[in-house]
Every structure is written in C-alpha cells, then in structure tokens.
C-alpha cells in the first residue's frame, strides 16, 4: 500500500506571533498562529507544525497557552517543537493539545532524551528535527547545525538520523539550512541520501518556492512536505501543491 504524501504548513512562532525569514534571519511578521492554523485546517493541510524558534524557559507559559488555543481550532494533527528538554515538557505539551513533539538541540546535547520520550509516550509522538547543511568535511557531505543553522554541531547528518531512529524517533523532519527561505527548491540530494538510511517517515523542509518543488521532493523519497512562507504569504496554496502531486501520479490525502 502506498502511503499518501502529507502537506504540512509550518508556523515559526516568536513571542506568540508567526514569523518568517531567509536562513532564519531578517524575520517578518506573518500573523497570528491561531488564525493561521484555522485557515490551514480549512485549506486542506494534512498536519500543522508549530515551532517556537526562540524558545527559552522564560516564555514557556505563553507558548503553552498559544499551543492550547491553536490545538482547539484544529481537526488535524499538531506537532510542536522548540525548547523541549525533558519528558515533563513533552507531557505538558501533549496535555495542551499537541499530537506530536519535535526535539532538536536537547537531543543533540543528550541523545538519551529520545529513548526517554519514546519509552514513555511511544515513538509515534516523537519527531526529530534535523537542521542540516552541506559540509565537504563531513563523511556524508552533510552536517548537523544548531542555533537556527548558525553553529555546527560537529555531527554527520546521516549518522545522526540513523542513531536517532535506533534510539526511538518515529519521524525525521529534515531541514535544509542552505535552502531555507530561498524558494529555489528542496535539497533533493540530501533527501534521497537520508531516505536510504532510515525506515521511519521523512518530512522534507527548506526551499519550497513553487508547486513543482514538492513533486521533486516526494519523488526523492519524502513522505511529507513542509513549507512556511509560500503558504503564509499566499504565493502557493495547499490545493495547488496537492493538484501538482496528483498530476505527477503521487497519492495525497
């Protein structure tokens, strides 16, 4: 059975507002997360990803409130990431209405966090967000970055996704930091290399600029396709993406 490819808008949230930039800089306000979430649900999104891009312990309370209000408007799965450092953080977000949790920096610093979350809640709730970029010094040609792509984690991206799946991650969200916000297309080579290394679903992110880009990423092995600014600013609609996928013979929901 061929699984349907999912189309997922991403809300990058900073202090309760959705923002978008290029390579995680020059951020522009893109609206209220609760309003955007409701709009995407009606527009046919299969899931929604909510990333608190400046998460710190200081604003966790506000974020829980925004997550709760966002979840209340949705009839589709909601993934929340940003600042998740413990099993208790996951518990609080699931209680606030999140369906899945995305971890990134905390898992790099302490990989055992992956096993702890997966053993307590099941791997179906756990997404590993991997901010990867090209680096010829890395064995696979791709390295993991932290701090919104600004710093190298000195970890090979393909080795990291393989290790994370063994530890209990249920899904990989692969962000191309080189392509992020450029609208020049997904990093097809990176998607296909990661696809060959993992058995769990792969979400491709970074670089979407037009509907055909989503087709190329799905053909490279992505199970789900994530984008932000082109949806937020109305450049491409979710319906147009799904039409392109179907025209290319790719099953959608």
Catalytic residues: 12, 131
Separation between Cα atoms, residue 194 and residue 158, nearest integer Å:
6
H-helix segments, the chain:
33-42, 60-73, 87-95, 105-109, 112-121, 157-167, 188-197, 211-219, 229-232, 238-247
Alpha-carbon torsion (186, 20, 239, 39), positive or negative: positive
- Bridge partner list, 145: 152
The Cα diameter of the chain in Å comes to 47
């Amino acid at each position: 059975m061929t699984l349907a490819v999912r189309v997922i808008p991403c809300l990058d949230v900073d202090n309760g507002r959705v923002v978008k930039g290029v390579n995680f800089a020059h951020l522009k306000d893109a609206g209220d997360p609760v309003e955007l979430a409701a709009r995407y649900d009606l527009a046919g999104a299969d899931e929604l990803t909510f990333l608190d891009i400046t998460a710190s312990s200081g604003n966790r309370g506000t974020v829980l409130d925004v997550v709760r209000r966002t979840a209340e408007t949705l009839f589709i799965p909601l993934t929340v990431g940003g600042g998740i450092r413990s099993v208790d953080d996951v518990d609080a977000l699931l209680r606030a209405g999140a369906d899945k949790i995305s971890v990134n920096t905390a898992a790099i610093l302490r990989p055992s966090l992956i096993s702890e979350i997966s053993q307590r809640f099941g791997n179906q709730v756990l997404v590993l967000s991997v901010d990867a970029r090209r680096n010829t010094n890395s064995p696979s040609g791709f390295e993991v970055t932290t701090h919104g792509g600004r710093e190298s984690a000195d970890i090979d991206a393909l080795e990291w996704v393989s290790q994370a799946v063994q530890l209990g991650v249920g899904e990989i969200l692969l962000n191309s930091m080189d392509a992020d916000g450029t609208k020049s297309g997904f990093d097809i080579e990176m998607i296909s290399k990661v696809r060959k290394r993992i058995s769990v679903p792969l979400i491709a992110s970074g670089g979407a600029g037009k509907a055909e880009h989503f087709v190329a990423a799905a053909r490279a092995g992505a199970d789900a396709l994530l984008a932000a600014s082109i949806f937020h600013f109305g450049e491409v609609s979710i319906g147009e993406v799904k039409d392109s996928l179907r025209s290319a013979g790719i099953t959608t929901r």
